[in-house]
Structure 1
Amino acid sequence: MTRLSVNINKIATLRNARGGNNPDVIKVAIDCERFGAQGITVHPRPDERHIRYKDVLMLRDVVTTEFNIEGYPDERYVNMMHEVKPGQATLVPDPPNAITSNAGWDTIKHAAFLRDIVQEIKSLGVRVSIFVDPSPRMVEGAIAVGADRVELYTEPYAVEYLVNKEIAIKPYIESAKVAHAGGIGVNAGHDLDLNNLKYLHQNIPHLDEVSIGHALVSDALYYGLENTIQLYLKQLKS
């Protein structure tokens, strides 16, 4: 079964736009789980422009499915892993001022750095996923440094899907096969939505988890949060 982890960064962005606590990020996370989500994802950045450090601490105490914390593995992030010990740490290569993640790790070039970070975080009992482009070579690099999973960066898929979905999916199928053969799991995320998720799920073998935030929160404005989560789960059951 492919699990749905809801990224709630956009909920925090909306809250921070006016100050106060509306919408309540913690309540939304609890509701997402109640409505069927099988995980909660956050990506706290140093400037706290959406998810704040105190949000992470509060979510640690209420998330009952799986808590996935994304981030660039600097000292701040690694210290957070020691304190929070989430279910999963997803390592992304983007700098602190990036709007959103827009490329995967070069797991060959940064192998020594990643190997040390992966070893430290795994020693805490936390699963480690490395965010990579859909490249068998980058997946092999993630396997070599000891990652438990890779998260395939799916923006290129989402863009090409509108033109030729067979071409769009091909590198993801190849990368997923390499990951499975190497004994690690496969996650996917970025720009997945109700239009392209089903095809991805039907064609990528051994897909463990998808992390979806922006599109899901946007759809919830029209369909409501509970109904939207059910719509996304439906794409993962067919």
Structure 2
Amino acid sequence: MNEISDRARRLAALGLTDWRIRPGGALEGAEASAVKTTVVTAHDDAPPEPIEHDLLGADVPETNTGTDGHVPPAAEDTSDLSGLDWDGLADWLAGQDHRGATQPVFGIGAREADVLIVGEAPGANEDEKGVPFVGRAGQLLDRMLFAIGCSRETNVYITNICKFRPPDNRDPTAAEIAADWPVLERQIDLMQPRLVVAVGRIAAQTLLNCKTPLGKLRGRLHQYPQRDLDVLVTYHPAYLLRSPDQKHKAWADLKIIARRIGSLASEAA
């Protein structure tokens, strides 16, 4: 049984038969670690287009306050977060303004993994359960990860840019992003991942501090600003549920993740 047919059967069993697997596209350990992947840095000819207003600044003017009119407070002095461990950070977050949400959605997964997956914001299911990616989109994400030998139980950690569900599932505002940003930064400090996967437009543009369309960011590795850390951008599973014809592009992104994981394993050997 060759690698391609085995992977095709795995995907078909998961209901992902419309993910396109091209001949020669299968990954093998030795070949995967040898694949060279382009890393985009600030010195490349066509870097991501910078945003006009820094989404992460506490003094960003608020233009979209959401349907309930609630404006979250400006980000507090979070200098003390640098001394918090995982449990302390979760406790600190639980004590912050919930902004109308039921509870914070802190994150889940293997805290010492090399791969950190960052989504946008919790939805209704996540708000109810306090766990990221638990609805239909989360189920698809789990199947996508399984297809490359990953899972939230073993070798990835999953969280969001925003830790509280925005009202009516709207996009998070700049102030909401700013309020929760220090928590994500501390999670990265604690975890020390080697690869961040930005899932969806908001996550990608926030992490890379740009306004470049997602379609122009995906398919290659970027440099996380001010960190020696790779970032890969891909589509949000919710978008793939609405646009299944784009799944072949997400599969291409997954193969980049698998190659990078293989490379990291080789470096650690």
Please, what TM-score do these two structures have when normalized by structure 1? Answer: 0.29
Structure with higher helix content: 1
Structure with higher strand content: 1
